[in-house]
Amino acid sequence: MQFRDLRKQYSVLKQDIDAAMMEVAAASAFIMGRPVKELEAGLAEYVGVKHCISCGNGTDALTLALKVWNIGAGDAVFVPDFTFFSSAEVISLEGATPVFVDVDGDTFNMDASDLERKIARTIEEGRLTPKVIITVDLFGLPANYPAIRKIADAHRLFILEDGAQGFGGMIGNKRACSFGDISTTSFFPAKPLGCYGDGGAVFTDNDEWAALADSYRVHGKGMFKYDNVRIGMNSRLDTLQAAILKIKFKAFREYELRDINKAAALYTKLLAGRVKTPVTPEGYYSSWAQYTICLNSREERDALQACLKEQGIPSMVYYPTPMHGQTAYKVLNAPTDCCPTAKRLCDTVLSLPVHPYITEEEIETVCSVILGFVR
């Protein structure tokens, strides 16, 4: 059994993906070729924004956004304590300071009430200037944007939506990667929409910001690539990856998103009431980058993971350490109780195999082992 079965996906899409790769090889426009612009246009239309600027990876996408806003030393950027390291790492790389915010125990996303508290405390301390809120659409579910937008507007803060795991998710009729002033995603292979290497994208409705992101991703180019008007970076999406993504994007829209939601629904049906299953609030739609359950303790979680492994069932812990506990961030001297929900989740979460090609029989097998264990 595969945790995220990319081999199965390739076998289904093989003919079209192979043809797309051969077409790129024949054209030999390997950097910023025609498929890149075609993909960007298709992604922008799907998300519902004016501009999509592709780049080298999801981390670079976040970095591009912070550069566009000129975020740097003395600035405070609020970020969930329960997330992948890059969500905070990019803040430090720009010289700014991350302020860690606790998360909701049901959705795993940023807790709006704690965000209010952390903003107020930062203003009261007076050392840093609040500038940006980096939301994270964790495990495929959009963050609480109705509440977070009110807070951001009240304090005149930018929202940077980290949609690396959220592409395809929705609140009502509005899609993930359209909720931020700038939004980003990742095309890492295991993401809801993934390529065959690294890739990422920036989304915005702001013409000026889109032009700046386009400049920064190609060494700060001006009117042409040898007219360098600012210090930029080298972060372009390869034509080959764009061609692959175009094929996978079609499958994603036509059936993959639907099928992974069916898989998640079956997990919830079989496990509800026996372990804590993920919560999707009313009006929300998840793209299920992960299906994550919660156990009662670290010991119980680790024992279940070992039990699953004995049966040949892969599982993962996303994430074992909160941001404030990472070695690189101990210099911030954050109180150990600054984000208690995040700390508890790190001790109790376990992600199960889920992808659009998983069978009902495979899900039933996973659930049978879990139910036998919790009995």
- Scan for tokens 């600027």, then name that residue: 53
Ordered alpha helix ranges (H), 167-238: 207-216
CB 171 within 8 Å of CB 148? no
C-alpha distances (whole Å) from 271 to each of 251, 305, 323 are 28, 16, 29
37 catalytically annotated: no
99 phi and psi angles, rounded to 5 deg: -115, 120
CB 32 within 8 Å of CB 263? no
Q: 342: closest CA among 92, 153, 108? A: 108
CA distance 86 to 59: 6
Catalytic residue (one of 118, 131, 191, 246): 191
User: DSSP of 2-48, one letter per residue?
Assistant: -SS-HHHHHHHHHHHHHHHHHHHHHHT--BS-HHHHHHHHHHHHHHT
The catalytic residue positions are 191
